[in-house]
Amino acid sequence: MKKLLMLIACLLVCGVSFAQKLNKISGKIIDEKAEAVPFAIVKVFTFPDTVLVKTIATTPDGTFTFDQIKNGDYILSISMVGFKSKKTAKISIASDLVLPTITIENSTKQLKEVSISGRKPFIEHQIDKTVLNVENSITATGSTALEVLEKAPGVQIDRQNDQIKLNNKTGVMVMIDGKTNFLSGADVTTLLSNMSSDQISTIELITNPSSKYDAAGNAGIINIKLKRIKAYGTNGTVSFNGGQGIMPDSPNDLYRAGLNLNLNHREGKWNIFGNGAIARKSNFNNTYLDRTTLSNGIASSLTQNFDRKNKGVGFQGKLGADYYASEKTVFGVMVDANTVNTKLTNFSNTNIYAIQNGAPNLSYILQDANSSSPASNLTANFNIKHDYNKEGKSLTFDVDYSGFSNKKDENFLANYLNASGSSTNQTNLRNNTDAKINVYAAKTDFTWPLSKTMKIETGLKSSYVVTNNDFLSEQFLSGVWQNDLGKSNNFVYKENINAAYANFSKEWKVWQIQVGLRAEQTHSNGKSITDNKEVDRNYVSLFPTVFVNQKLNENNNIRYSYGRRVDRPNYQQLNPFVFYMDPLAVDQGNPYLKPQFTTNYEVSYSYKEASISLNYSDTRDMITQVSKQDDATRVISVIRQNLGRFQNYSANLNYPVKLTKWWNLQNNVSVYYNKFEDGNIEGAAYSASKVAVNLYTSNSFTLPSNILLEVSFWLNSPRISGVEQTTIYQGALNAGIQKSMLNKKLKLRLNMDDILLTNRWEGKLVYQNINMNVVNRYTSRRANFSVSYSFGNQNVKSARSRNTATDDIKNRAGGN
């Protein structure tokens, strides 16, 4: 009998060794007060040769889990800011193992050692997204959220058209703390230009979201997470930043300043949090363009130069509370508001050189314009989360209200001059825009783990949007202001979206799979009250997603994904108003725009921290901006249309290198191929394609005496988007330095953006009867300084974060 048992045991041991069984190690880290320690760095080393196997951070409740661990002997190393480093005794692994709770001790003597090992890189690539750790970046200090995004790999900021692109694709859904903001186009960039990087913790780039996310966003999602205090008790962070633009041939008043305060009080069952910020901004923009016209034998060459300066002060505040009614149930309320008033002054000079029957004629148009644009946004959220007894089973419910108001008062005074400089005519116009948007939404999400390796997620959502745009255009004629009936209008848009989704996920030793389906029913109605025109649409769309993950071993991983997305026209793109920009340019919406649908495919391979991915997307009825030129009047009309098909192929390489203990290098290379096709755009077929490259590299140096240094560089090659072509390389060299004092509670940072002044835009539009070249220069070089101080306990436990119910609609609102 003993021999038989020994034989069976031998066979089992051999079988396990032959199969190279992989196991899990899990545990929990607590402090001396038996409270969980989140975000501690836990490493697994082989024993006795101490080869590093894996590194992870503990979750907000202090737990950690290592998977894909081979049989053998190991030790764990735990490190965390404010605590002594700790190593465990030898651990022998032959099956899944749950370790006893590990206690680490508080210490201030080893801060230097731990902070170096625990500092996150600026760019962090995870399995389903790319994360920018903004609060750890020196070169991001004193910047705006828009300027930080410009440094992100795969992100392009199109300042010519006020668009954000991801992987060279438009249609990005911008979220803030899981809530999609209310703005679109120029208003999105205005909001992000007013948001200081001192308010931001991380930025997530999600190129292929799952069915749990709203289907909006052809190019994916950019989620900006604001800073949240991490501790019990009363604690916070206060920071000040200032900066000065340094540009040739520009005004002196290009300084910016901001003050930010984050506070948190957590005690017992209550967590109360809030933050506030005030920021002053100032920017300068110079645009030069030339184009030609030919009509009735008159050939004209037009050159225009625009100098725009805008400045303003913005305020932002958030107040919220979480009440932990029990270990399983949490109630939360949150209110946030922001307001900004931007004032713009704009001077333009237009030269018109016309030739008829060989006789030249020169004339000029000089225009002074100014505008005031106060905008405000209020969002309120009520949230309930209940965790069931079964681990991972939870139910959440959100109800939201969001209100947005955007007003704009514009004045235009144009003088028409002949070749001798004498005035031949003068026009005096003014526009008044009043846009109001109200959004009501509710959603619920249910997560049900069927087993340790299998899970179902389902949810429902409904939203209702009402927008009211009142536009009044007037001319000063015969000494009085008179309504311009051809331009004034009142446009009301209503939209109801009802959605349901289900995700199923299953995990094996090597394979992980998640399949999902989202259904959205949309009913929209746009009505021009003045013109008595109405467009009503009602349709149902399905959005399947598939994700497959293959773990080859602990260092090699392959991920496959598929998904379908939609971009509905934003509210102002549907607005039929004709907006005057100058005597030779107007901007007009299109109430007949259709939504664009995109199918995305992606395959990615990762080896340790390096990764490469291949992407393909196919967009039908792409929403794009085109220009229509009337050669007889020389007026350019900027309009929105659906372009038949847009295909995007891309390859992305991420390769971090640790050159020494004190020098880290992050490298990203992206190559794109864009192809645009339409059978009839402005009366003729259109086809264009181009290969483009995006490069990003960052050097991080850890120096003695708590000094950190960063140097980064990004470059975008010439590219094409719709009918618009970028004709030059764009890039910027940035550098920054940080000094930490008072146990790293006080941080001083100094940095400069675009040191070589290479970040500007040049492009052209060549199609049909349009032949136009554009040069756009903006305030890209700026020196920034900031000081921040953290008080209270910063190292214990983080408050929960949550999304709200208005995720898919907020970035579609706003004004032109």
Q: What is the pLDDT of residue 214?
A: 80
- Shared-domain flag, residues 110 and 130: no
Q: What is the pLDDT of residue 48?
A: 81
Closest C-alpha to 378, from 406, 435, 337, 341: 337
When pLDDT is cut at 50, 70 and 90, the band that residue 204 belongs to is confident
- Shared-domain flag, residues 29 and 168: no
Instruction: Determine contact, residues 298/355, Cβ cutoff 8 Å.
Output: yes
Let me know if 313 is exposed, middle or buried by CB neighbors in 10 A (0-12, 13-18, 19+): middle
What count of other Cβ atoms lies within 10 Å of the Cβ of residue 787?
Answer: 15
- Shared-domain flag, residues 443 and 392: yes
Instruction: Determine contact, residues 288/775, Cβ cutoff 8 Å.
Output: yes
Instruction: Kindly report the backbone phi and psi dihedral angles of residue 603, in degrees, each rounded to the nearest multiple of 5, phi listed first.
Output: -130, 130
- Shared-domain flag, residues 268 and 372: yes
Question: Structural domain tally of the chain?
Answer: 2
Residue of 666 and 278 predicted with greater confidence:
278
**pLDDT tens digits for range 515-525:** 999 999 999 99
DSSP 641-668: EEEEEEEEEEEEEEEEEEEETTEEEEEE
- Amino acid residing at 329: T
HEC letters along 144-199 = EHHHHHHCCCCEEEECCCCEEEECCECCEEEEECCEECCECCHHHHHHHHCCEHHH
**pLDDT tens digits for range 149-187:** 776 766 767 655 567 777 667 767 777 776 665 455 556
Domain that holds residue 81: 2-118
Please check the confidence at residue 188 and state whether its pLDDT lies above 80.
no
Q: What is the pLDDT of residue 142?
A: 60
Which residue, of 102, 118, 134, is where some domain finishes?
Answer: 118
If you average pLDDT over every residue of the chain, what do you get?
84
- Amino acid residing at 314: G
Q: Is 454 helix (H, G, I), strand (E, B) or coil?
A: strand
- Shared-domain flag, residues 58 and 132: no
- Shared-domain flag, residues 217 and 340: yes
**pLDDT tens digits for range 391-419:** 778 999 999 999 999 899 999 999 999 99
At 328, which CATH number? 2.40.170.20
Q: Which span out of 226-235, 310-319, 792-801 was modeled with the highest average pLDDT?
A: 310-319
Q: What is the pLDDT of residue 541?
A: 95
Q: What is the pLDDT of residue 637?
A: 92
- Shared-domain flag, residues 796 and 752: yes
Please check the confidence at residue 652 and state whether its pLDDT lies above 80.
yes
How many Å apart are CA 59 and CA 87, to the nearest integer? 19
- Shared-domain flag, residues 51 and 150: no
How many Å apart are CA 518 and CA 48, to the nearest integer? 50
Which residue, of 84, 118, 152, is where some domain finishes?
Answer: 118
Q: Which is it for the CA torsion 149, 150, 152, 154, positive or negative?
A: positive
**pLDDT tens digits for range 659-712:** 998 998 989 899 999 999 999 888 889 999 999 999 989 898 989 998 999 999
What count of other Cβ atoms lies within 10 Å of the Cβ of residue 70?
Answer: 15
- Shared-domain flag, residues 139 and 114: no
pTM given for the model: 0.75
Would you give the DSSP letter of residue 389? S
Q: What is the pLDDT of residue 181?
A: 57
Which residue, of 97, 118, 139, is where some domain finishes?
Answer: 118
Residue 655, C-beta contacts closer than 8 angstroms, at least 6 positions apart: 610, 667, 668, 669
Residue of 387 and 643 predicted with greater confidence:
643
Q: What is the pLDDT of residue 194?
A: 63
Q: What is the pLDDT of residue 327?
A: 78
Pairing between strand 220-226 and 172-176? parallel
Q: What is the pLDDT of residue 10?
A: 44
When pLDDT is cut at 50, 70 and 90, the band that residue 1 belongs to is very low
Please check the confidence at residue 355 and state whether its pLDDT lies above 70.
yes
How many Å apart are CA 299 and CA 354, to the nearest integer? 6
Instruction: Kindly report the backbone phi and psi dihedral angles of residue 683, in degrees, each rounded to the nearest multiple of 5, phi listed first.
Output: 95, 5
- Shared-domain flag, residues 127 and 114: no
Taking the C-alpha atoms of 543, 544, 547 and 548 in order, what is their torsion angle to the nearest 10 degrees? -160
- Shared-domain flag, residues 132 and 26: no
When pLDDT is cut at 50, 70 and 90, the band that residue 19 belongs to is very low
Taking the C-alpha atoms of 812, 130, 506 and 59 in order, what is their torsion angle to the nearest 10 degrees? -110
Place of tokens 């992987």: 167
**CA 649, 214, 562 angle in degrees (round to 5)?**
35
- Shared-domain flag, residues 646 and 579: yes
Please check the confidence at residue 103 and state whether its pLDDT lies above 50.
yes
At 81, which CATH number? 2.60.40.10
For range 460-482, the mean pLDDT: 93
